[in-house]
Chain A
């Protein structure tokens, strides 16, 4: 049973536009959520995180929104750049264990 789901395997957006990547989770014990970007042949790069006590966190072009009642989070990238093209993973942890449960990833393509 997948506890963290990314239902869109791929997303294509025009450079300069907004990219919205979505993630759903089922475990109500999760209290910390993270987004990672991964290029081929590299390890995941941490992008941004959010605690369950917040509903929004911003860092430059990246904003993460958390809707606890819907068990849904999203990553907004604006404006999107061709260098943002990568696979994006959301991950969750909870119950003070620090173990990360990852979604299946969404491949983002930003077209010049």
Chain B
């Protein structure tokens, strides 16, 4: 398994602003992912964070809205840009272990007012 931390754990932000969420892993991992869980819904993959190259986004998510950085094998950031109330969600990073399981961070609970 892997120990994953996220910062901040929660935040309340104003409409139109941006928030950057950090994800730190205690060991080097090949693949990191960012998910979103909107209120009352399941988890949806936003993008795969690729080390040294641009992230791979899922349908419905774009780089301008959710820019992602992955400077090394233990760290990634997700920015939620130009926020609106519809962006209020829990944002989670996950890492893929060698055996194929994904382990999740504790999540960042974002509320946009």
A interface residue numbers (CB < 8 A to B)? 32, 34, 36, 41-46, 49, 51, 89, 91, 93, 98-105
In the complex the two chains form, is B106's CB within 8 Å of A102's CB?
Answer: no
In the complex the two chains form, is B102's CB within 8 Å of A43's CB?
Answer: no
B interface residue numbers (CB < 8 A to A)? 1, 4, 31, 33, 35, 41-45, 48, 58, 92, 94, 96, 100-107, 109
Tell me the total A-B contact number using a CB cutoff of 8 A: 52
Q: Least Cβ distance of B47 to chain A in Å?
A: 10
In the complex the two chains form, is B104's CB within 8 Å of A34's CB?
Answer: no
Q: Which residues of A contact B100 (CB under 8 A)?
A: 32, 49, 51, 93, 98
Count chain A CB atoms within 10 A of each CB in B35, B42, B45, B106 and give the residue with the most: B42
Known: A34-B102, A98-B96. A103 touches B45 (CB 8 A): no
Known: A42-B106, A43-B92, A43-B106. A49 touches B44 (CB 8 A): no
A101 to B94, CA, bound (A): 13
Q: A43-B107, A89-B42, A100-B45 are in contact. List 11 more A-B contacts (CB 8 A).
A: A36-B104, A46-B1, A46-B104, A93-B100, A98-B31, A98-B96, A99-B45, A100-B94, A100-B102, A101-B45, A102-B44
